[in-house]
Structure 1
Amino acid sequence: MARRRPPLVGLAVLLSVAASAVAKTDQPDVAALNVMFTSMNKPSELSGWKASGGDPCGDEDEWKGIECSDSSVTEINLSGLGLSGTLGYQLSSLKSVTKFDVSKNNFNGEIPYQLPPNVVQLNLQGNSFSGGVPYSISQMADLETLNLGKNHLSGQLTDMFSQLPKLSTLDLSFNRFSGNLPQSFQYLKKLKTLNLESNQFSGHIDVLAKLKLEDVNLKNNKFTGWIPKKLKDINSLETGGNPWSSGSAPPGMEKGSSEGSSNEEDDSGINGFAIGAMVITVLLAALILLSVLRRNHSSPVSSHYYMDESGRRDSSAIDMKPLEHSPSMGSRTPPAVPRKSISDNEFENKLNYSRRSTDPISLMNHSSSDLQAATGNFHSSRQLGQGTICRVFKAKYADGRVLAVKKLDPLSFSGSSDFMDTVNGISKLRHGNISELVGYCSEAGHYMLVYDYQRNGSLYEFLHLSDDYSRPLTWDTRVRIALGTARALEYLHGICSPPVIHKNVKSSNVLLDADLNPHLSDCGLAFFYEDTSESLGPGYSAPECTKPSAYVLKSDVYSFGVVMLELLTGRKPYDSSKPRMEQCLVKLVTSQLHDSDALEALADPDLRGLYPPKALSRFADVIALCVQSDPELRPSMSEVVQALLRCVHHKNSNW
Structure 2
Amino acid sequence: MIHFHNILVLWVFLYGFFTTGVYSKTNSQDVSSLNVMYNSINSRSKLSGWKSSGGDPCGDSWKGIKCSGSSVTEIDLSDLGLSGSMGYQLASLTSVTRFDLSKNNLNGDIPYQLPPNAKYIDLSQNGFTNTVPYSISQMSDLETLNLGRNKLNGQLTDMFGKLTKLKELDLSYNSMTGNLPQSFGKLSSLKKLNLQNNQFAGQITLLVYTPVEDLNIENNRFSGWIPNELKGINIKSGGNSWSSGPSPPSPPGARRNRGGGSSSQSGGGKSSVATGLTIAGIALAVLLVLAIIIALFSRRRRSSTSHLLDDDRLSQRKSFGASYSSKELSRELNSSFRNKVTDPGAVSIDIKPVSKSPSIGFKSLSGRLQSFARRSTSVKATNYALADLQGATANFAPARLLGQGTIGRVYRAKYDDGKVLAVKKIDSSLFQGSAPQEFSDIVVNISKIRNANIAELVGYCSEHGHNMLIYEYFRNGSLHEFLHMSDDYSNPLTWNTRVRIALGTARAVEYLHEGCSPSTVHKNIKSSNILLDIELNPRLCDYGLATFHQRTSQNLGMGYNAPECTKPSAYTAKSDVYSFGVVMLELLTGRMPVDSSKPPVEQCLVRWATPQLHDLDALSEMVDPALRGLYPPKSVSRFADIIALCVQREPEFRPPMSEVVQQLVRLVQRSSMNMREDLGLGASRHSSAMSSAKEDLAASRRLTDF
TM-score class normalised by the smaller sequence: 0.3 to 0.5
Q: Which has the higher contact order (CA 8 A, sep 6+)?
A: 1
From the CA coordinates, give the structure whose radius of gyration is larger.
2
Q: Compare the two structures and name the one with the higher helix fraction.
A: 2
